């Protein structure tokens, strides 16, 4: 009995595939999404029912992420990867590795604030304003800067105004009075100020209240800018004893005190010379016997010495020139 076997050997197949992805990506292979490096297998049957083996060698190339934290001051800019940034936020950039995978760069940019403080101030002319350790007395804008804890500037600005003092004058007051003279009414310009000093009550000066001596009488006025101007008149109050009207054998002078105009009666020709209390000659003239009116109203109010010098006389008399 003869048995005959016809044996057929059908082939099997093996397919190897090499693939690479970047970290974080996935690779779809035979219906699977693969993201981990390794070797993967799958098998299919041929039409003859033999296995065909598929092999995947999957390489996962690394990707990189670089994070940078930076802070700048408001108004500055930061150059990063060729760009200038001045607004707070998070910025991204990517570069490819030699394997073609992304390297991600991330910038966290913080903007620290800067500050500007403006101050307006006003002073009166002649005063000074202390600002940040400086004494300022000229009108203008001044600047100073300090650093915050983050190293950013804080700018301080001062706008300083210098107001003029008011123009003030004291009127109606002479520089010399006898203690027995009546009170005088003073006026001040601009109106509405304050009179002060020895012998002052309201807007009146009374010599007897002031007493003997030389006194400063002040008129002060403060304007709408709170700046105060002053005018001062120094007033001398004298006892004026024995100087009302003098008479001798050779001359007579009246009135005394006077306003600078007075009358002399002389009994012989003589020179009359007037000296200030400092001994300065302020007038000299020759007069013949008779009555003469002398006008010296151009002289300032005060006490003067009048010298009579003739053939039979050489005497000195005190005269008082005052203004009402």
pLDDT confidence of residue 245: 43
The DSSP letter of residue 164 is P
What DSSP string runs through 227-238? -EEEEEEEEEEE
pLDDT < 70 regions, the chain: 99, 240-249, 324
Per-residue pLDDT tens digits for 149-194:
888 888 999 999 999 999 999 999 988 777 878 899 999 999 999 9
Q: How many residues are listed for the chain in this entry?
A: 324
Place of tokens 């590795």: 97
pLDDT at 324: 64
Radius of gyration, alpha carbons of the chain: 56
| Distance from the Cα of residue 74 to its chain's centroid | 25
The pTM assigned to this predicted structure is 0.49
Instruction: Please choose, from the candidates 123, 126, 125, the residue with its C-alpha nearest in 3D space to the C-alpha of residue 159.
Output: 123
d(CA 207, CA 199): 6
Query: Which residues 6+ apart lie within 8 Å of 226 measured at CB?
Result: 124
Strand partners, 103: 64, 95
Query: HSE (CB half, 13 Å, CA atoms) of 292?
Result: 17
Q: How many helices (H) and strands (E) does the chain have?
A: 1, 32
CA distance 126 to 283: 42
- pLDDT, tens digit (0-9, with 9 covering 90-100), for 14-36: 889 998 887 778 889 888 898 89
- 3 state DSSP class of 210: helix
Query: Is residue 299 within 8 Å of 175, Cβ to Cβ?
Result: no
């Amino acid at each position: 009995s003869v048995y005959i076997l016809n044996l057929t050997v059908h082939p099997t197949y093996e397919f190897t595939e090499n693939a690479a992805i970047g970290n974080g990506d996935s690779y779809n292979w035979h219906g699977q999404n693969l993201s981990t490096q390794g070797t993967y297998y799958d098998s299919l049957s041929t039409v003859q029912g033999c296995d065909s083996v598929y092999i995947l060698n999957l390489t996962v190339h690394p990707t990189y992420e670089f994070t940078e934290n930076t802070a700048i001051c408001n108004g500055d800019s930061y150059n990063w990867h060729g760009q200038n940034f001045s607004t707070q936020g998070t910025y991204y950039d990517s570069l490819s590795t030699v394997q073609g995978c992304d390297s991600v760069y991330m910038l966290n940019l913080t903007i620290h604030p800067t500050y500007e403080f403006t101050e307006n101030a006003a002073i009166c002319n002649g005063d000074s304003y202390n600002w940040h350790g400086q004494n300022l007395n000229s009108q203008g804008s001044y600047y100073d800067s300090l650093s915050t804890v983050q190293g950013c500037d804080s700018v301080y600005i001062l706008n300083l105004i210098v107001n003029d003092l008011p123009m003030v004058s004291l009127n109606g007051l002479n520089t010399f009075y006898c203690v027995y003279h009546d009170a005088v009414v003073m006026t001040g310009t601009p109106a509405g100020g304050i009179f002060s000093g020895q012998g002052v009550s309201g807007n009146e000066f009374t010599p007897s209240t002031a007493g003997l001596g030389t006194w400063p009488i002040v008129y002060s006025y403060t304007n709408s800018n709170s700046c105060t101007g002053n005018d001062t008149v120094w007033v001398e109050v004298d006892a004026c004893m024995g100087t009302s009207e003098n008479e001798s054998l050779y001359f007579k002078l009246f009135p005394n005190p006077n306003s600078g105009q007075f009358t002399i009666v002389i009994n012989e020709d003589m020179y009359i010379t007037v000296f200030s209390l400092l001994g300065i000659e302020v007038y000299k003239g020759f007069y013949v016997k008779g009555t003469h009116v002398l006008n010296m109203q151009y002289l300032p109010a005060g006490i003067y010495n009048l010298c009579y010098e003739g053939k039979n006389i050489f005497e000195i008399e005190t005269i008082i020139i005052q203004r009402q």
